[in-house]
Structure 1
Amino acid sequence: MSLARAGTASVTQVPAPVFAPPASGAGAIGGGVMALLLVVGLILALAWLARRMPGVGAVTAGNPALRVVGSLALGPRERVVVVEVGHTQLLLSVGAGGTRALHTLAEPLPATDATPSPFASLLAQHFGKKS
């Protein structure tokens, strides 16, 4: 005689889950600490990247008699820079080996029309600044 004919239903028991929520807030604190470390690491990485990119962290304060007129990247670490010192313009080579004066310009470079990029114009309009 089978159990189904006898009128008894067979019940299968499912074992209780092994994973239970933590009894204390240690898991929440650990997750919060990890999120904080991730944010601080992201800030430090962006600061390092900003220092490595040319023109992002440029300092405009300093001696007004000394200014960079223009520059051209020749490679990842080499540049040619025109610097104005007083009324004299110098062509300098800047690279891993140091800085060297290449030429003293007899006549200053002509002033170029410094038009901002379309992105800079759009950003200035968004923040209400005139370009």
Structure 2
Amino acid sequence: MESTATAASGAGSLGGALVALLLVVGLILGLAWLARRVPGIGAAAGNRHLKLVGSLSIGPRERVVVVDVGGTQLLLSTGPGGTRTLHTLEQPLPDAGGTAPSPFAQVLAQHFGKKK
């Protein structure tokens, strides 16, 4: 009888460890997916020499963005066909001064269909 109880408790602790391992792996995969989907989270957020000044959606999969690269602002077109430089701005765009919504607010607005 004692050997049956020991085997049952060993199987229970092994099952619990397996469930905990699957939970941790699932959490890591979920956070990695979230880091790719939410702007401002990830490796690009720490780059001081490259900054997104503004963007505008011009179609379901096309955007026009202004990027500051080392003090030079570029107007770029992005879409399924790739990224193209449309224009190099001679004068930088004025800073909005904090009136732009946060990246989190932009993502929520996109998901709920609100446009500004």
Quickly name the TM-score band, shorter chain normalised.
0.5 to 0.7
In structure 1, C-alpha distance between the alignment counterparts of 2:58 and 2:38, rounded to whole Å: 15
- Equivalent of 1:61 in 47, 53, 78: 47
Give the number of the structure whose alpha-carbon radius of gyration is greater.
1
Q: Secondary structure at the match of 2:76?
A: strand
- Using a 3 Å threshold, how does the CA distance of structure 1 residues 26 and 87 change in structure 2: closer, same or farther? closer
Q: TM-score, normalized by length of structure 1?
A: 0.56
Task: Determine the C-alpha separation between the residues in 2 that align with 1:61 and 1:54.
Answer: 13
> Residue type of the partner of 2:25?
V
Q: In structure 1, how many angstroms separate the alpha carbons of the residues matched to 2:94 and 2:21?
A: 51
Distance in structure 2 (CA, Å) of the matches to 1:117 and 1:87: 23
What TM-score, normalized to structure 2?
0.61
Q: Which residue among 34, 48, 59 is the counterpart of 2:33?
A: 48
Percent identity for Structure 1 against Structure 2: 65
Q: CA RMSD in A?
A: 2.9
Question: Number of matched residues?
Answer: 96
Residue-by-residue CA offset, 1:13-58 (whole Å, 9 max, x unaligned): xxxxxxxxx6222122112212221221122122122112222223
Structure 2 residues without counterparts, runs of 5 or longer: 105-116
Structure 1 portions without partners, runs of 5+: 1-21, 121-131
The structure richer in helix per residue is 2
* Cα drift, residue 91 of structure 1: 0.8
Aligned counterpart for 1:113 among listed residues 97, 100, 103:
97
